[in-house]
């Protein structure tokens, strides 16, 4: 090991105060359409809450309903607008402070999210952070609403991290998360932080 240091942060709930998938739906479709859509899909939402429906299937149903058939360019423009106007107020100040401090200590910093990169990437790009996130399928210039590959959740976060980094090259590995879906990633750490910014 060469003294290299790296930090992996979950995004929704760890860095943000709210689930950004729900917030991007409200932002793009409006509150009325958001709540009407959820009311329409109450059965599968209940199945998800009762662990009868997998996380990726529940998310995909939501994405297909709200964004399936939407122009990719229109969708991305709205995601960029969300990242500029809405996302900053959802970021926990303590998380930003931690990222800044880690930078001064020489850490590489990576955001690892089950949410789609479309609305997170403008923010990570502005802070020059690396991003691993769920990818959304596009066909003929249209959003299908389907996940391209695997949902970046649970063990998949670990798989995606290991595809890009050999953690044995690092002396320090900090991991920050806030849910059961982050536990496999937290297990990679030399120092792990669970729900670290809830009071900030």
Which of 118, 108, 88 lies closest to 15, judged by CA?
A: 88
Query: What CATH number has the domain bearing residue 167?
Result: 3.40.50.1000
Q: Is 199 a domain residue?
A: no
Range of the domain at 67: 4-194
Buried b (16+ CB within 10 A) or exposed e, 176-197: bbbbebbbbbbebbeebbeebb
Q: Would residue 178 count as lying in a domain? A: yes
CA distance linking residue 89 with residue 99, whole number of Å: 17
| Residue 3, pLDDT score | 87
With beta carbons less than 8 A apart as the criterion, state whether 118 and 76 touch: yes
Assess if residue 144 is contained within a domain: yes
pLDDT of residue 90: 97
Determine if the pTM surpasses 0.95.
no
Do the domain assignments include residue 200?
no
Residue 141, domain member (yes or no): yes
Is residue 164 assigned to a domain? yes
- On the 0-12 / 13-18 / 19+ scale of CB atoms within 10 A, 135 is middle
Residue 72 domain-assigned?
A: yes
Instruction: Give the three-class secondary structure for 111.
Output: strand
pLDDT at 53: 62
In tens digits, what is the pLDDT along the chain, a chain of 200 residues?
468 999 999 999 999 999 999 999 999 999 999 889 888 877 777 766 666 666 777 788 889 999 999 999 999 999 999 999 999 999 999 999 999 999 999 999 999 999 999 999 999 999 999 999 999 999 999 999 999 999 999 999 999 999 999 999 999 999 999 998 899 999 999 999 999 998 75
Distance in angstroms (rounded) separating the CA atoms of residues 61 and 38 = 11
Note whether residue 133 is domain-resident: yes
Report the pLDDT value the prediction gives residue 43, as an integer from 0 to 100: 78
For residue 41, the model assigns a pLDDT of 79
Counted domains in the chain: 1
């Amino acid at each position: 090991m060469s003294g290299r240091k790296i930090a992996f942060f979950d995004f929704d709930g760890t860095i943000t105060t709210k689930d950004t998938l729900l917030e991007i739906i409200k932002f793009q479709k409006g509150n009325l359409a958001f709540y009407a859509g959820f009311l329409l899909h109450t059965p599968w939402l209940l199945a998800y809450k009762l662990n009868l429906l997998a996380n990726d299937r529940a998310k995909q149903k939501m994405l297909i309903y709200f964004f399936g058939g939407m122009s990719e360019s229109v969708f991305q423009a709205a995601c960029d607008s969300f990242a500029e106007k809405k996302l900053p107020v959802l970021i926990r100040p303590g998380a930003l402070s931690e990222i800044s401090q880690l930078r001064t200590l020489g850490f590489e910093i990576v955001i690892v999210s089950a949410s789609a990169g479309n609305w997170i990437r403008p923010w990570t790009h502005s802070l020059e952070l690396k991003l691993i996130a769920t990818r959304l399928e596009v066909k003929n210039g249209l959003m299908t609403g389907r996940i391209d590959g695997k949902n970046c959740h649970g063990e998949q976060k670990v798989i995606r991290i290991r595809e890009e980094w050999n953690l044995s090259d690092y002396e320090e590995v900090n991991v920050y998360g806030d849910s059961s879906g982050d536990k496999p990633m937290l297990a990679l750490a030399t120092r792990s932080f669970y729900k670290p910014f809830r009071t900030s």
